[in-house]
Structure 1
Amino acid sequence: MIFSFSATPDFDFMTYFARYIRATVQNDLLVIPDHLGQGYIRKLAFGPDFKITIHRYLLKEDLIINRNTSGQGNDLVTVFFYSNEQALEIAYNDAPQVLFSQRDESAIQVTSNDLNSTIRFPAHQTIHYVVVAIKPPRLTELLAVSEPNSVLQTITESGNSFLFFERMEAEIKQLLKNVAAVDMNDRLSHFYMRIKVQELLYLVFHKLSLRENAAHQPINSADAERLLLVRNEIIGDLSVPPVIRELAQRAAMSETKLKQLFKQTFGTTIYNHYQQARMEEAAFLLKQGKHSVGEVGYELGFSNLSHFSRIFEKHYGLNPKRYSYS
């Protein structure tokens, strides 16, 4: 099942998706028809310039969502919260889709409205994601920051093209679960949801506000595509450190541009991103895979286990052996 749309500022996903699957919307709720799967899509509006759409479903066939630019400007900020147990496949600019993440299949994406993207949600797997759409003036009013850093300036000023990824921490995951569990028949549910959505935005933009205050580099769909391919290359084999020169060649970018755009988009350097993914994989293998410290260290390319232990403890506050028993 492939659903394509143009991301105009006034586009309403649920209305058009309902027409596409020949379903009806009642009280801003779309129930997935039985022949397609089970679950729902719910929309709440907190005014004409601020809304949230909640997706929770399990489908009988793959769902591919193609989001195309409208050419009518990009005066909209979209925040995607992906909280899924399976890996997401996301691509830009009609590129082959790549797995977004490896062990932790959750992520937050903050983007302008002028980037093409394709997301594939696999069949027979529970899908949970939330989309917040808000116009820059409303977001500026909510944030009420007197001296925003370059990231917040870029996002809240109209007309900028941007893409930022953030990690989803436990607090945000729990908030998303609470939002999905709200009884919408409760008279104060809308009031509660507005508070919780603003809390979600606070947690995301607080993290973005802590990023380095550097000049913003414009980004387009082709750049976004290359950055995800580079990221996929980095996490594809965590036993081998990334080589910037080789990654730049594959991305058809200069080394300087690649390093600048990668850090801007993911909030950290290529090597730090690699090291973080490496430690997350180590933690997973120690806890879930029941591997020994030596097996994990050597599998992730460490020839010196003392060095592995020092880096792991720096990330998790415990050495690998104590972590595996914690």
Structure 2
Amino acid sequence: MITLELQHTDYHALLQSFAAQLNCSLENNVLQIPPHFGKGFYKVVDLPNGLQALLSDIEYNTDVTYKRLKTEEYYCVLYFNDSALSEPLQFERNGKKHVDKSIRRSGISLVNSTHDMSFTVKAKTKARTINLLLPEQWINSHLNRFNELHLLMRFNQQQNSISYPEPFDAQNRILFDEVFETEEANPMQQMIVKNRIMLLLENFLSKVHRKMEENPDAGQRKVKPADLSKLMEIEAILVRDFGQPPPTIVTLAGLSNMSVSKLKSTFKKVYGTGIYEYYQKNRMLKAKAMLLTGKYNVKEVGTQLGYTNLSNFSLAFKKEFGLLPSEV
């Protein structure tokens, strides 16, 4: 078991602390983790307006506990996370323990520095995470004038999102994946990564604002935690491989331990669209992202995304974006 302290409001200092605790060195704001810890990295990304993000892409070889004590200095941390869990994830918040038995966590969590918090990741877990640090000064400068600060705090109080994350939507899924999958050889890699992280933040704040304005007295989400966990597993299956047809609704219902009607209605409640519509929207967003890299032609993209008829691919793409893939 390894315990890492999170008592920093500067991710460069935090990464230096991690390096000291793990007895390894930093290079260009990247910490390649040692074999006894796992395989992967931590990386600091400096963003506009003084914001910072800490990226990690890790396959754990040992149990790791991340621990943060409450502080007088106020700040928020926004976690974008996609994890395949080997064992239940254990949380402790202000002395209260919680165990998440999900196999998959794909969503957004918000915490602030006024609470003690720790969570333990078990060995063999695979996790990609973007931690976005929102200091009080940034919050006061950029959110107060739009009243989002009040909404953000109310959202944080009403939804225990560290235990039950807000699920990704189709746009967030694509943005999140691009942060990790844009190749370093791409001359615009740093610009793309920073842009996608800021878009993730913008999308989250817009969604919170819209949700809380529509229903100011909203309490806990109405979907049961167990059902939400299953939906995250279903979402991960849908976006895993666009080269293969998605499983049938009956198959997905069996995997989720829900009836077909419950799965369809609950999925739409959480993700805002039907199951196959969600699959197809992500498929087209993936197609657009691939075309924008300039590395693939239309035929290559269509083939990789499972189309045997390129005319069908072009029609689906135009339906989604209003232009042909050849026009991107």
TM class by smaller structure: 0.5 to 0.7
Q: Distance in 2 between matches of 1:288 and 1:88?
A: 29
Decide whether the 8 Å contact of 1:150 with 1:215 is kept in 2: no
Match of 2:109 in 1: 109
Match of 1:55 in 2: 56
Q: Distance in 2 between matches of 1:46 and 1:278?
A: 32
Q: Distance in 2 between matches of 1:3 and 1:194?
A: 29
Compute the displacement of 1:85 (Å). Answer: 1.7
Distance 1:16 1:323, change over 3 A: closer
Task: List per-residue Cα deviations over 1:20-76 (Å, max 9, x = no partner).
Answer: 01010111000112343221111112268410011111222111111112x3321x2
Decide whether the 8 Å contact of 1:7 with 1:68 is kept in 2: yes
Decide whether the 8 Å contact of 1:49 with 1:134 is kept in 2: no
Task: List per-residue Cα deviations over 1:261-315 (Å, max 9, x = no partner).
Answer: xx54x4x24xx4469549849979995896697x899x76xxxxxxx66555544
Decide whether the 8 Å contact of 2:9 with 2:133 is kept in 1: no
SS in 2 for 1:196: helix
- Amino acid of the structure 2 residue aligned with 1:107: G
- Amino acid of the structure 2 residue aligned with 1:111: V
RMSD (Å), alpha carbons? 4.3
Q: Distance in 2 between matches of 1:33 and 1:163?
A: 33
Task: List per-residue Cα deviations over 1:203-249 (Å, max 9, x = no partner).
Answer: 21122112234999xxxxxxxxxxxxxxxxxxxxxxxxxxxxxxxxx
SS in 1 for 2:212: coil
Decide whether the 8 Å contact of 2:42 with 2:56 is kept in 1: yes
Q: Distance in 1 between matches of 2:172 and 2:67?
A: 26
Matched ranges for 1:272-287 at <5 A: 272-273=223-224, 277=228, 280=231
Match of 1:16 in 2: 17
Q: Distance in 1 between matches of 2:66 and 2:129?
A: 13
Over the matched positions of the two proteins, sequence identity in percent amounts to 12
Q: Do residues 67 (structure 1) and 68 (structure 2) align?
A: yes
Q: Distance in 1 between matches of 2:23 and 2:233?
A: 46
SS in 2 for 1:55: strand
Match of 1:127 in 2: 127
Distance 1:163 1:51, change over 3 A: farther
SS in 1 for 2:173: helix
Distance 1:214 1:124, change over 3 A: same
Q: Distance in 2 between matches of 1:166 and 1:281?
A: 10
Matched ranges for 1:264-303 at <5 A: 264=219, 266=220, 268-269=221-222, 272-273=223-224, 277=228, 280=231
Of stretches 19-28 and 3-12 in structure 1, the one that deviates more from structure 2 is 3-12
Q: Distance in 2 between matches of 1:312 and 1:133?
A: 35
Residues matched between the structures, number: 257
Decide whether the 8 Å contact of 1:83 with 1:106 is kept in 2: yes
Query: What TM-score results when the alignment is normalised by the length of structure 2?
Result: 0.62
Match of 2:173 in 1: 173
SS in 2 for 1:138: helix
Q: Distance in 1 between matches of 2:55 and 2:167?
A: 19
Q: Distance in 2 between matches of 1:292 and 1:276?
A: 13
SS in 2 for 1:26: coil
Structure 2 residue runs without a partner (length 5+):
238-245, 269-273, 280-328
Structure 1 residue runs without a partner (length 5+):
217-259, 301-307
Q: Distance in 2 between matches of 1:48 and 1:149?
A: 17
- Amino acid of the structure 2 residue aligned with 1:172: N
